[in-house]
Structure 1
């Protein structure tokens, strides 16, 4: 016979001996509650209340059971009655707060916890729960104050360390968060969630080895923890280990098959593994479970674009933008496809919008500059290339493209200077040498032109095109030229 069973038998005997023994009903109710027999406990608390209607603790205990069972209205009624009988019943105020917290009424929850602390300024649970409520409300400084108030008294309080770590992580104080999670693990090494959260912080500071160790430890302690497979899979994905990522995400999906995020992430891993069919299947599943997530449409757009199915790519990129008009990669993708479909204005508009949203500008400026050159808008293209070069003086492509724009504008010296800069940054680009030869030939700098043509040929350029290139008209009769273009 267990201790609970012995207690229940003992109090049952007391009740049999004296059916009016309200305390025996109360005590047996507590024993039933500890045994998880909530219905029996509630019945006994009811009898205790009938016999001893002025005992606030009985209402409080019954309220706790109603709360655990999800009967929130009944729980609040009991907590309120406990407080009516004892206005300083701090535990009943915490009970109220817990009901409000579970109903996501965080302002009311914090107020209830504050009332508990008014009557018991050292009530650790009230501080902790109020800190959690403040955190949910976004009042991180107040939450931090509550967790630190606990830690000043109880430096080894695991829950407070965990709470403070969460606030620090939200504030991107990942080093501080890691310290708190590490302290919590030292006190309670079996809490898998702490390993998962510390792993995310390690990822944030670039310590992927420690993050991987934490995910592995979490799985060693709980082999069916889907979040650990997801976290480790995403870590592999970030490292470009797409096969390992897909394997872990498959494990996560097996454990939690209705999580859109896992399908989305595995779909991207399959995309980079060039497994388009599997990627499309995963993106379709992601849409099935969360049709409002724009990233699945973005993923399908990427696949269709790579397959050359520009119309379907455009539809999916456009759908992603409709779902989230700040999703810059989808906007750029739509712009790229619009350009292929001949809608230059749409492409330019999308590139401009992506930059306005703060997407990395260099690649977009290069794209837009190229489009502007195709339209003969060389001055505008040069402005884009200027912006790239000002930001990144090592951008060889920007120098090359700007040189081409100058070339079209007849600004030979500026073009030559930029081609020279491009050559210094990328000395194996034969096209740059060829274009420099064109300009030098036009300036009657024959020896230099021939030399640059030679350099172009050595870098793999087929010089047969030079036979009919009008830029070489002035040196076409030169024997050295004729020898090179044979």
Structure 2
């Protein structure tokens, strides 16, 4: 598509390209720090393609930089990489080309090459905050979270209001279960820009993880206020509401997710669980079966459907669903526990003990729960007597 070139005047072409790049927040110098690609319509992409197909008789580095950034903007990353490399061949110390090359290499899913390039940028320009930010992103992509935090922190020390660096450090802190630190980072983000929906979403997650559930609900609510389609905020608020014993409010939030994304299997499963807790087995079964229609092997839903059947005294179906759950997830403690309970009810003590032992092996907290259960308690006592003979 971009192979047929038209000759053009250098200054005219450069002016047109820079105007276009600036208009779409790309610019003709360092590429934007946002990981999100600027959204260009097909007409806008056609416009920049027309500009990129024009060539001049003379070589101009500023024009080549604009062309490389233009190719980057339409996701022609290999073309962009080639032009940045050509610029660096002529001028190895061009920090802008070196930096933009590193960002392009990340888009090409070559983080190791990007890291090498960013090290060169920082060696030559140690006070460039964007370089530390991008290297932090690269470390994060390659699983080196502590180095990512160090680089985000360094970027912030140079540029204290570096919003993206503060935000990303919060994400990585949360990933490392450093939730108090994450909350402070999202506090700072919200202070700088109070209308970022996902800042409230992520701070809400960290509040949940630290046991501050009401603050989590408040943050999810603000996240939804700023973005009515923030499905993660609806979903997380629903989970927390259910945990706090508000199943009807949870159902309302899960419904908001399902209305917008009917294939969200977790939302269907969890709404079914909320209906189940209210004794509304009809709607619970409907949601569970809708989830299984999307994925017939979804073990959590198979287990939950088994529990509904057990509550309705359909023991045969309950046993089948629990067995299917175990078949699809051999490490499901709840499915093993529930199947153990079914066998205990029917008097199959050896089978019950087999599944109970496995459930406790997977989750040691189930041992105490089993000892208090009407049916499994008898299995526990029987097993103790058997061992003491």
Q: What is the DSSP-based 3-state SS (H/G/I as helix, E as strand, rest coil) of the residue aligned with 1:295?
A: helix
1:17 matches 2:36:
no
In the alignment, the residues of structure 1 paired with residue 376 and residue 345 of structure 2 have an alpha-carbon distance, to the nearest angstrom, of 13
Contact 1:310–1:337 (CA<8 Å) still a contact in 2? yes
Structure 1 counterpart of 2:286, from 247, 269, 288:
247
1:2 matches 2:11:
no
In the alignment, the residues of structure 1 paired with residue 341 and residue 299 of structure 2 have an alpha-carbon distance, to the nearest angstrom, of 18
Deviation at 1:73, TM superposition (A): 0.9
Compared CA separation, residues 248 and 62, structure 1 to 2 (3 A): farther
Deviation at 1:154, TM superposition (A): 2.0
The 5-angstrom pairing of residues 100-249 of structure 1 reads: 100-249=139-288
- CA deviations over 1:197-238 (Å, ceiling 9, x no partner): 111222233333322111111112222222221221121222
Deviation at 1:130, TM superposition (A): 0.7
1:94 matches 2:133:
yes
Deviation at 1:111, TM superposition (A): 0.7
Deviation at 1:89, TM superposition (A): 2.0
- CA deviations over 1:97-155 (Å, ceiling 9, x no partner): 12222333321111110011111111001111111111222222221111111222222
Q: Which has the higher helix share?
A: 1
Q: What is the DSSP-based 3-state SS (H/G/I as helix, E as strand, rest coil) of the residue aligned with 2:53?
A: helix
Contact 2:103–2:134 (CA<8 Å) still a contact in 1? yes
Compared CA separation, residues 331 and 74, structure 1 to 2 (3 A): farther
In the alignment, the residues of structure 2 paired with residue 266 and residue 62 of structure 1 have an alpha-carbon distance, to the nearest angstrom, of 53
Larger relative contact order (C-alpha < 8 A, sep ≥ 6)? 2
The alignment's TM-score, normalised by the length of structure 2, stands at 0.80
Structure 2 counterpart of 1:262, from 301, 324, 331:
301
Q: Which residue of 2 aligns with 1:45?
A: 84
Q: What is the DSSP-based 3-state SS (H/G/I as helix, E as strand, rest coil) of the residue aligned with 1:17?
A: coil
In the alignment, the residues of structure 1 paired with residue 138 and residue 297 of structure 2 have an alpha-carbon distance, to the nearest angstrom, of 29
Deviation at 1:321, TM superposition (A): 2.1
In the alignment, the residues of structure 2 paired with residue 311 and residue 210 of structure 1 have an alpha-carbon distance, to the nearest angstrom, of 42
Contact 2:183–2:206 (CA<8 Å) still a contact in 1? yes
Compared CA separation, residues 101 and 253, structure 1 to 2 (3 A): farther
Q: What is the DSSP-based 3-state SS (H/G/I as helix, E as strand, rest coil) of the residue aligned with 1:93?
A: helix
Structure 1: which 5+ residue stretches go unaligned?
350-486
Q: Which residue of 2 aligns with 1:393?
A: none
The 5-angstrom pairing of residues 362-441 of structure 1 reads: none
Q: Which residue of 2 aligns with 1:286?
A: 325
Structure 1 counterpart of 2:378, from 315, 323, 336:
336
In the alignment, the residues of structure 2 paired with residue 256 and residue 79 of structure 1 have an alpha-carbon distance, to the nearest angstrom, of 43
In the alignment, the residues of structure 2 paired with residue 215 and residue 30 of structure 1 have an alpha-carbon distance, to the nearest angstrom, of 42
Deviation at 1:346, TM superposition (A): 5.9
Deviation at 1:334, TM superposition (A): 4.9
Deviation at 1:9, TM superposition (A): 2.8
Contact 2:257–2:267 (CA<8 Å) still a contact in 1? yes
Deviation at 1:182, TM superposition (A): 1.4
Q: Which residue of 1 aligns with 2:65?
A: 26
In the alignment, the residues of structure 2 paired with residue 258 and residue 50 of structure 1 have an alpha-carbon distance, to the nearest angstrom, of 55
1:301 matches 2:340:
yes
The structure having more radius of gyration, on CA atoms, is 1
Q: Which residue of 1 aligns with 2:6?
A: none
Q: Which residue of 1 aligns with 2:75?
A: 36
The alignment's TM-score, normalised by the length of structure 1, stands at 0.65
Contact 2:163–2:192 (CA<8 Å) still a contact in 1? no
In the alignment, the residues of structure 2 paired with residue 254 and residue 109 of structure 1 have an alpha-carbon distance, to the nearest angstrom, of 41
1:76 matches 2:115:
yes
Structure 2: which 5+ residue stretches go unaligned?
1-41
Compared CA separation, residues 331 and 62, structure 1 to 2 (3 A): farther
The 5-angstrom pairing of residues 54-65 of structure 1 reads: 54-65=93-104
Contact 1:174–1:204 (CA<8 Å) still a contact in 2? no
